[in-house]
Structure 1
Amino acid sequence: MNKKFAAAVSGGAVLMLVLSGCGGDDGDTKADAWAKKVCDKWQPELKKIEAANAEIKRVATESSKPEEVQTTDSAAFGTMSESYKAMGTAVQQAGVPPVKDGQTTQETAVKGFESTAKGYADLKAKMEGLDAKDQTKFAAGIKEVAGGLQAASQGGKDALATLKTGGLDQAINGQKGCQVAAPSPAK
């Protein structure tokens, strides 16, 4: 069961950060400059999210004690919450993107990242509230937490979709700071 949990977390959290496409086309220097501001601040957050996912995967083995799973996953959710909040702040601080409906694009993206930050904070609280001493209750609690992963990550997915449909996908994809390695599919 823990392996399914790890697969759900890593699939939802890191994959959502990769916008489709390769590099930008150098056609819009204003959009590129905006994306650089955002991506330079996103890079450390993306690395933190990847590290948090790696920790969840690490403890999602049969040999991990429930207390270790609880502590590790709780810390990982806390890191993810902080990182998504910082990603929203980066979009806010970069200013209105130079695209049609830039103000709306920015506001919607920021709200999406804030929603995901809150979602992961809620999962952290749920994880901390589980009874790691009672295997049956803990297993049921893990299932409930895993069931909330999709909802927790939806805001960030929506934020990226907003940026992409807002015309910023090429500019963002062209920035080194926004390029993360997609995880291999979980088995």
Structure 2
Amino acid sequence: MNKKLAVTLSGCATLVVLTLSACGGDGGDDTDEWARNVCEQLQPQVERIEAANAAITEASEGNRSAEEVREADSTAFQDVSDAYAALADAVDEAGDPPVDNGTELRENAVTALRGLSDSYAELKESIDGLDTSDQGDFAEGLRDIAEQLQALGQSGDEALSELQSGELGEAMSRQEGCRGPSASASASPEEENGE
């Protein structure tokens, strides 16, 4: 059951980067500068989220005790919560993007990111409260958490999709920190050489 949790979190964790990097095109200098400010802060947080994914995946493999799984997942949820809070701060500190409805876009994104941070903090509390002495109850608790993660992914996607639209989305897609995770590292040397 923890494998389902790992897969679900992995899908949610890359959400921000995928959402912010969906567009391409040309934009103005002010918009590019705003996007650069945000995207410079994005990459470290995405790496933090990816590390949390890896920890959950590792905990779900092998014959880990329920206590070990709970501890790894709890730490990972806290890390993801902290990363989303840092992303909210980065967007907020960048100020209003220089596009139509910039204030609304910033406020909506900050609210969504803070909401995701709060939700992951709640998931940490939920996993911390699971009884590891009964494997059946623990598995049921993990199933409930996995369902909450799926809902989080959907709501986060909807809330952040506005940032990827139009000129702002185009400017963000040109910034290294807002490109998909490991976009340049995903091709193996064989693929790069056409083998």
Q: TM-score, normalised by structure 1?
A: 0.90
Query: Aligned letter for 1:92?
Result: D
Letter in 2 for 1:181: S
Q: Matched residues in 2 for 1:65 and 1:106: separation?
A: 43
Between the aligned partners of 1:74 and 1:166, the Cα distance in structure 2 is 37
Change (3 A) 1:124 1:149: same
Structure 1 distance, partners of 2:14, 2:83, is: 12
Determine the structure 1 residue equivalent to 2:70: 70
- Give, in whole Å, the separation in 2 of the partners of 1:69 and 1:153: 22
Q: Residue 101 of structure 1 contacts residue 166 of structure 1 at CA under 8 Å; is this kept in 2? A: no
CA contact (8 A) 1:100 1:166 kept: no
Q: Which moved more, 1:115-124 or 1:2-11?
A: 2-11
Partner of 2:182: 181
User: For residues 36 and 88 of structure 1, what CA distance do their matches in structure 2 show?
Assistant: 15
**Comparing 136-145 with 1-10, which one deviates more in the overlay?**
1-10
Cα distance change, pair 130–139 in 1 and its aligned pair in 2 (3 A): same
Give the TM-score of the pair, scaled to structure 2: 0.86
> Which deviates further from its counterpart, 162-171 or 55-64?
162-171
Count of matched residue positions in the alignment of Structure 1 and Structure 2: 182
Q: Could you tell me how far 1:21 is from its partner in structure 2?
A: 3.7
Distance 1:81 1:52 in 2: 10
How many Å separate the matches in 1 of 2:145 and 2:112?
20
Report if the CA contact (8 A) 2:39-2:177 is conserved: yes
Deviation string, structure 1 residues 32-69 (Cα, Å, up to 9, x no partner):
10011111111111110010001111111241211111
Q: Deviation above 4 Å: which 4+ runs of structure 1?
A: none
**Alignment identity in percent?**
43
Range with greater deviation from structure 2 (124-133 or 53-62)? 53-62
Change (3 A) 1:159 1:33: farther
Bigger drift between 12-21 and 126-135 goes to 12-21
Q: Note the aligned Cα RMSD (angstroms).
A: 1.9
1:127 paired with 2:93, answer no
* 1:137 alignment partner in structure 2: 137
Deviation sequence 1:144-174 (CA, Å, 0-9, x none): 1111102333453234202012531111111
For 1:147 and 1:55, the matched residues in 2 are separated by 19
Secondary structure of the residue aligned to 2:63 is coil
Name which of structure 1's ranges 7-16 and 45-54 shifts more when overlaid on structure 2. 7-16
Q: Secondary structure at the match of 2:72?
A: helix
Q: Within 2, Cα distance between the matches of 1:162 and 1:22?
A: 12
State yes or no: 1:34 paired with 2:34. Answer: yes
Matches of 1:21 and 1:2 in 2, distance apart?
A: 30
Q: Runs of 5+ in structure 1 lacking a partner?
A: none
User: Is the 2:24–2:169 Cα contact (8 Å) retained in structure 1?
Assistant: no
Q: How does 1:1-187 map to 2 (within 5 A)?
A: 1-19=1-19, 20-21=21-22, 23-25=24-26, 27-165=27-165, 167-179=167-179, 180-181=181-182
